[in-house]
Amino acid sequence: MVLSALAFSIMSLLVKVVGDLGVSIFMVVAVRSVISLVISGVILKRKGIPPFGNRKGLLMARGLSGFVALNFVFYAITHLPLAEATVLQYLHPMFTTVLAIFFLNERPTFGSLICIALSFVGLLVMVQPDFLFSSSTVEFDNVAVLVGIAGAFGSAIAYILVRTLNKTEDSSVIILYFPMISLPISIVLLWNDFVMPSGMALVYLVAIGIATHIGQIGITKAMKTETASRATSFGYLQVVFAMVLGIVFYSEVPGVATFVGAGLIVAGAAFNIAWKEKEKVNLV
């Protein structure tokens, strides 16, 4: 999971780099989709599993929600400091918990409620909206902040769909539907503005796809050797890695508000994970 968090942090950094080079977000998504499509196709062929699955409607919805969320996340990364964009993305546990109440009939635990509360307060402290902080000194692109929050919400929708689909579909089929949906949409949206990337831009785009795949391998390996809740807790190291990479490559030193807000969000997630582990022990 440490390797996974580092890989996804490098992916985010490279997305910001290619954005500075003028590469369209849709191009980034398209190249990543091509790499993911090839890898997923090879895995499914080896497993001998039909690629289209059983619940095609939900699978397409998962692919579409992932596409929209990824574009929002990439937009936030290219228009906000790396640390702040990463912190906004990690609001998804809060949204996932809320959506699970309504769509999966999951009763929220005390840990989940604390997670929601701390995440929300952390967001307010970091962004410091004018209607609450009249003397706010934080200056972010408001549109990028809203898009980043929307990206986290879209990720939560995708996670809810994955939880539902895991009951009937192979994980490789679920993964395959993302590039199957995102690649053609990206090509259509790029149609009139398509410019074949070259030089370092092409190298960075391929590296984004490879970094993403390494991150996914790290998650898969971690889930096989450790409980899901404990393994995913290490994913929050991505916030730390993002801060370090932002400082090193962009001289983006996060302000006090970002450190406090990020701390509250990570603390909320950690408390939620610890509470789940406590409940498991009590059940035993």
- Nearest C-alpha neighbor of 242 from the set 118, 112, 82, 120: 82
Contact criterion met (CB below 8 Å) for 64 and 181: yes
Q: What percentage of the chain reaches a pLDDT higher than 70?
A: 87
Residues in the chain, total: 284
CA distance 246 to 103: 37
What's the pLDDT score for residue 128? 74
- Looking at residue 284, its pLDDT comes to 52
Do 241 and 9 touch, CB atoms closer than 8 A? Answer: yes
pLDDT band at 209 (very low <50, low <70, confident <90, very high): confident
Q: pLDDT per residue over 83-135, tens digit each?
A: 888 888 878 877 887 888 888 787 777 877 887 788 888 888 877 766 556 65
* Distance of alpha carbon 23 from alpha carbon 197, whole angstroms: 8
Average pLDDT over residues 232-261: 81
The answer to whether residues 265 and 35 touch, using CB atoms and an 8 Å cutoff, is no
C-alpha span between 80 and 89 (Å, rounded): 12
Residue 101 in contact with residue 216, Cβ under 8 Å? Answer: no
pLDDT for position 102: 85
Percent of the chain with pLDDT over 90: 16
10 Å CB burial of residue 107 (0-12, 13-18, 19+) is exposed
**pLDDT at residue 224 tops 70:** no
pLDDT at 230 over 60: no
In this prediction, residue 225 has a pLDDT band, given cuts at 50, 70 and 90, of low
Output the six-digit token pair for 130: 């004018």
Identify the band that residue 228 occupies on the pLDDT scale cut at 50, 70 and 90: very low
> Contact at 8 Å (CB) between 253 and 210?
no
Strand ranges for 143-275 from DSSP E: none
Helix, coil or strand: residue 169: coil
Who has greater pLDDT, 233 or 113? 113
**C-alpha–C-alpha distance, residues 14 and 6, integer Å:** 12
How far is Cα 236 from Cα 266, in angstroms, rounded to an integer? 7
CB atoms within 10 A of CB 203: 13
Q: What is the CA radius of gyration of the chain?
A: 19
Residues 149-175 pLDDT 10s: 999 999 889 888 888 887 888 878 888
Q: What is the dihedral of CA 24, 205, 169, 101, to 10 degrees?
A: -60
Using DSSP, state whether 194 is helix, strand or coil.
Answer: coil
Cβ(127)–Cβ(279) under 8 Å?
Answer: no
Residue 105 buriedness (CB in 10 A; 0-12 / 13-18 / 19+): exposed
